[in-house]
Structure 1
Amino acid sequence: MAKAEKKGGIVETVKTIVYALLIAGVFRTFLFQPFWIPSGSMKDTLLIGDFLFVNKMAYGYSYASCPSIIIPRFGIDIDAKDICGWADGDNSRLFGGEPQRGDVVVFRHPVTGRDFIKRLIGLPRDRVQMKAGLLHINDQPVTVEPDGQFVETAAPQGPQGLRPRCKEGPVGPGGTCTKDKFIETLPGGTQHSILDIAMQGSDNTSVYTVPEGHFFFMGDNRDNSSDSRVPNIAQGVGFVPYENLVGRADRVMFSSAGRSMLYFWTWRADRFFHRID
């Protein structure tokens, strides 16, 4: 009798775990996907260590909606195409919604398949160009207004120990690191913060004409972002197909300034449920 009860208890435990995994899988595939900001390419809109949920319902569903499970420590690398590759290739979406210029979007890199998060700058058929650090869309310059400086400490950030780039050039550990801050207004009226460090190659580009069914993305930390300004064949992002969009980022849930999001004593008090503009 005791053995039967023990066996029954084990079976129920296994069932509970399976049901929990199924529910979590459905939640992540169709509703929201967790995302932890690993780099500073979207400062100061998003900081290294911000934790958010990506709204997958915003743009409908494609093969990219299936989760990728990557745990290098255990040799696990399951790509979304391994699960939903049958839906890849026609650049379409189920219940597809149209992304809007200015949205902060998580998408799959067209070549590596890794998740990126950037701001949507160019829509299909748009002409996008950078001239002397100023964004031009369809041959018209966007409006930018000075908004002071973004100040941070020159120190390793996040689990990768990334050091920020500073307007002052190399700054010693613990020093003050600044970037010029501006408010950029995109066609349609969306306003957001951008950062500028120094004039560099990505501040002067050729004209990019966005193909039909594709989008052009840029990081808000303009001088520290690998984005659509660099073709994906040259280790950049290039134009991103519609089917590669994962979802829209609307709000930061919490943020850790430490090496791990589990270090609750490093959580930033002003980032809880912070709205993403």
Structure 2
Amino acid sequence: IILLSFDISIGTVSPNSWKSYLDEIAVCINKTGSLIGFINLDNSNEITIRLILNFIYHDILSSTSIESGTYFPIEDYFNLSIIDNNMDSLQGCNKILYLIIGDINKLTMQISEYNKMDKNLTFQIDFYSNLEDILIPNIINRIDTAIPQTTSVMFLNSKLEMEVHLTTFELLQNTLKLLILHAIKNLPPISFEIQLLILKIFPLIDIIIGTRLQSKLIFCLLILGANCFKIQHRKRFLNQIKRYCEMGSFYYKAGNIEKILKIIKQCWVKNKNGNKSIHWWTIAKDFGWEINLGD
């Protein structure tokens, strides 16, 4: 897990080398029979729970999970979410929202597979009606009603630190809604729904840059940047990236941030007027990259 996080953040090795670490961890888990079996290798469960939760975090935030699914069923990951602890430093208070990303990715993959099939009109109506009336509203409702994980914020040292964590939670909620419009509904950036969310997300990112949680912005920055088409929005976004690098360490300058910025700029080239839905993971694939946003 340590090597995985290091490789993703610095990005100085092969662009896809992080995946070999996830592959090896998945093999180890399978040898124990299940996720729970791996957790029970440790009598106190503390170390193995941390390893599993961090594995889940990186699995869900990989571009491969959108096209090929997660290593283990997302339902199994949700079953582990009942483990309520404050030691999961990567996910912090946002655990439930990261799990919902897994559901969004799974639905995105299912839609992609469906679009490759031959189907009659009745089947199409049923499929899209189920999406519009049940599946998408259900995910949005879960995003809206989600609350921060209590044990991750109750031991924070200051009111300011609490506000930063809660702002990160709000940012992720809005980013997930943007992801639904972008990945599932295929709305173009010019749509008013996406424009509204962009305007909500910008100031939240401004608050988090410069705090110790700024390294968790990679996912949000990518989804935001890919949907910026107005000149003023692109300029504001690039200024945020500049501040991100100035306020972060050398590793943030040289690592994953460079890859996502290249992907975003290619989205801009392909979508100058904002009237198309350009999926960031297809751009990454064109570059020959499997991207992991779990910085």
TM range (shorter): under 0.3
Give the alignment's TM-score, normalised by structure 1. Answer: 0.26
Larger radius of gyration: 1
Give the alignment's TM-score, normalised by structure 2. Answer: 0.25
Structure (1/2) with the larger strand percentage: 1
